Structure 1
């Protein structure tokens, strides 16, 4: 199956920026910290809400279980999914990753994003050391 690749532009803008804020991700099922970082990337795409992509290295990977799910975005490429597994429950396909994103969004490689309905995402000023 051929997949069309599209380039972001005026009709469908995508902006990627480093986010120096302290971003925390907590599972909604009991407060298990899933991720904490000051190295997130924020992707703003067309009229969609901004998405914070967190370096996989800043995620508790013991809580992630790869699934067989995949979706396709003509602007970003193919996304793979993880379930979020805590002692309280398993949330299927709560996390996604573009392992080989298209060139226009290559900065999100090595980062994951979370569906906000499954986690609590907090954003605060990073404290300088």
Structure 2
């Protein structure tokens, strides 16, 4: 089981992550929504498409743009639709 932790809380947990470029993408229904705050940040990947971000808000602390997802991934990355990945100090273990 893969687990994402930050600031003393489990953010996401799933037996069904998809690994792309070394990152675990968690199904959105395995992510604790109460910790996610929408961000205005977007980046573009040549083969995955345009990424959107969430800021994590956990136990009074924020981690800006620490989670990302592809709302409309390109066909080559369709397996990560409705999945979220983490970085910026979020500990992901499998």
TM class, shorter-chain normalised? over 0.9
Q: Does 2:42 match 1:63?
A: no
Residue ranges of structure 2 left out of the alignment (5+ in a row) = none
* Larger RCO of the pair (alpha carbons < 8 Å, separation 6+): 2
The TM-score normalised by the length of structure 1 is 0.70
Query: Unaligned regions of 5+ residues in structure 1, if any?
Result: 1-21, 45-49, 124-129
1:32-43 aligned at under 5 Å gives the runs 32-43=9-20
Deviations 1:54-104, CA, capped at 9 Å, x for gaps:
001000011000010000111110000000001130111000000100001
**What is the match of residue 95 of structure 1?**
67
Q: TM-score under structure 2 normalisation?
A: 0.96
Q: After TM superposition, what 4+ stretches of structure 1 lie above 4 angstroms from structure 2?
A: none
Matched residue pairs, number?
94
Q: CA RMSD in A?
A: 0.9
Structure 1 match to 2:46: 74
Q: Does 1:25 align with 2:4?
A: yes
